[in-house]
Amino acid sequence: MAIPLPVNFYKAFMNSVSATDAFAGGKGNLALLPGFDLELWGVPTSAPAVDPNNLNFVYQRFQRGVMHYDKTTGTTQGLLLADYFKAIIIGNGLPPDLNAQAKSSPLYKQYDSSKSGWIARPNDLPNSDLTGAFEPEATVVIDPGHGGLEIGAVGRFPDGTVLREKDVNLQVANRVAELLKKAGYRVIQTRTADTSVSSVNKGLAGAGKLDIAADLQARMDIANNARATLFLAIHFNGHSDPDQRGTEMFYGRGRPHSGQSLRFATLMQQKTVAALSAVGYATVNRGVKDDQRAVGTGNYLYLLGPNAERPTTMPGALAEGLFLTNAADLAQLRDPKVIEAIARAYAAAVSEYLGPSPTSATSSSTIETYMVAAGDTLSAIAARFNVSVLAIVQTNDITDPSMIIVGQKLTIPAS
Ligand SMILES: [Zn+2]
């Protein structure tokens, strides 16, 4: 039967793969494009047919998709089978007639994050697990505190040299970002250079002071606009009392995601204290604190709290790794091994909080510690974690690879 409608299926098919999609720089033999279209869709498996339940809809099925024309809007849509399956499983985005058809499918509206294995009716889908299957890619926003004119805390070594908080924040943040990217996460940094983040206060605002609220808001905006899954602010502590020292993590209380923030801050604290201990520094464990411990009873940290103009919409924590104003803590921060240990602890906390990244299943690039057991050799451990012996030796500063001891903790690098 001829269909007197401008369904444009041929045109939609032929426009599926453009020259820029197919060839580097968009330059190539255009006569090859229909072959790519065929690769994508497969061959037609039905003639175009009017939907008997809705005379305004016309469908044509291909091996890997369905073309759909809607007369009421005059639009032609191609729906690849993967999208069609996804629409059935999450019960969203199906045209009413396909929705009616799909109702008898064991897959129909099975995706339910409140159920075990995220499956609404496990009897219909035995031995399946949909946990997080269609969740958006995890995005971590890393915020190195201060920058530019705002230097944060300052540490002074006995020899007179100075360590500025903004610099060590950025150094650690860069390394955390690198580790997480290698492990397959999407990572965004609020700053990668020694500048403020807000574009309105690159200079001085008011009477020679930075507009700190605007700068903090700019950091929150980056996280919110990226629809980030997790926010990590990296700071190092300062105090007028030089005896104050140690490691502490803050989270925002009274927020919709405070429970998750507390869980993340707790992982951060545990892993940082353990990592510092593993490189030989017994940091003072000051614990995980809600933000009124930082800014006073009843108050919130602007960056994590509800009082910003546009507060963060995701869980997060603010790390205070060590005190720049304490001589013992400060001395540690001169040691690249300590910086590396802190960065790895933060990356491991993020990775444990978020769960495996979408690509980590194939690239086996986790960040973790391993305790040497009886009978272990470095090459066996390296093989187990799919990294090179050299990478383990370098990461752990091992001087004699034949001398590993039972109980020794090894940091396993991201491969
Ligand atoms: Zn700070």
Q: What is the DSSP letter of 414?
A: P
- Least confident interval from 56-65, 314-323, 350-359: 350-359
Residue 191 CA to ligand 1 center (angstroms) comes to 14
**pLDDT at 205 > cutoff 50:** no
- Residue 3 is predicted with a pLDDT of 53
- Residue 352 is predicted with a pLDDT of 93
Residue 184 CA to ligand 1 center (angstroms) comes to 28
Residue 234 CA to ligand 1 center (angstroms) comes to 8
Give the C-alpha separation, 220 to 230, whole Å: 11
Residue 169 CA to ligand 1 center (angstroms) comes to 8
Give the position of tokens 């860069």.
174
- Residue 146 is predicted with a pLDDT of 95
Residue 145 CA to ligand 1 center (angstroms) comes to 5
Residue 238 CA to ligand 1 center (angstroms) comes to 8
Residue 252 CA to ligand 1 center (angstroms) comes to 16
Residue 147 CA to ligand 1 center (angstroms) comes to 10
Q: What is the DSSP letter of 360?
A: H
Contacts 24+ apart (CB under 8 A), 157-166: 157/330, 157/331, 157/334, 158/327, 163/324, 163/330, 163/333, 163/334, 165/235, 165/236, 165/238, 165/324, 166/194
247-251 and 230-237 strand pairing:
unpaired
Residue 165 CA to ligand 1 center (angstroms) comes to 7
Residue 235 CA to ligand 1 center (angstroms) comes to 4
**pLDDT at 136 > cutoff 70:** no
Residues in the chain: 415
Residue 270 CA to ligand 1 center (angstroms) comes to 20
Tens-place pLDDT, residues 104-129: 888 899 988 778 888 999 888 888 88
**175 vs 199, higher pLDDT:** 175
Tens-place pLDDT, residues 153-167: 999 999 999 999 999
- Residue 2 is predicted with a pLDDT of 55
Tens-place pLDDT, residues 296-347: 888 888 999 999 999 999 999 999 999 999 999 999 999 999 999 999 999 9
- Among 83-97, 130-144, 183-197, 397-411, the range with the most confident prediction by mean pLDDT is 183-197
Residue 229 CA to ligand 1 center (angstroms) comes to 22
Residue 152 CA to ligand 1 center (angstroms) comes to 5
Q: Residue ranges of the domains in the chain?
A: 9-103, 139-354, 367-412
Give the C-alpha separation, 399 to 131, whole Å: 43
Residue 318 CA to ligand 1 center (angstroms) comes to 9
The CATH number given to 367-412 is: 3.10.350.10
Give the C-alpha separation, 7 to 76, whole Å: 6
Residue 144 CA to ligand 1 center (angstroms) comes to 9
Give the C-alpha separation, 41 to 395, whole Å: 47
Please give the model's pTM, rounded to 2 decimal places.
0.62
**pLDDT at 37 > cutoff 90:** no
Residue 260 CA to ligand 1 center (angstroms) comes to 23
Measured in degrees and rounded to the nearest 5, phi and psi for residue 411 equal -85, 125
Residue 50 CA to ligand 1 center (angstroms) comes to 65
How many CA atoms lie within 13 Å of 20's alpha carbon, on the beta-carbon side?
0
**171 vs 73, higher pLDDT:** 171
Give the position of tokens 């903004």.
166
Residue 146 CA to ligand 1 center (angstroms) comes to 6
- Residue 359 is predicted with a pLDDT of 52
Provide the residue type at 50 as one letter. V
pLDDT-above-70 percentage for the chain: 92
Please state the rounded mean pLDDT for residues 127-156. 88
Question: Domain 139-354: which topology?
Answer: Aminopeptidase (3.40.630)
Minimal CA–CA distance to 71: which of 95, 102, 106, 44?
95
Residue 246 CA to ligand 1 center (angstroms) comes to 14
**pLDDT at 380 > cutoff 50:** yes
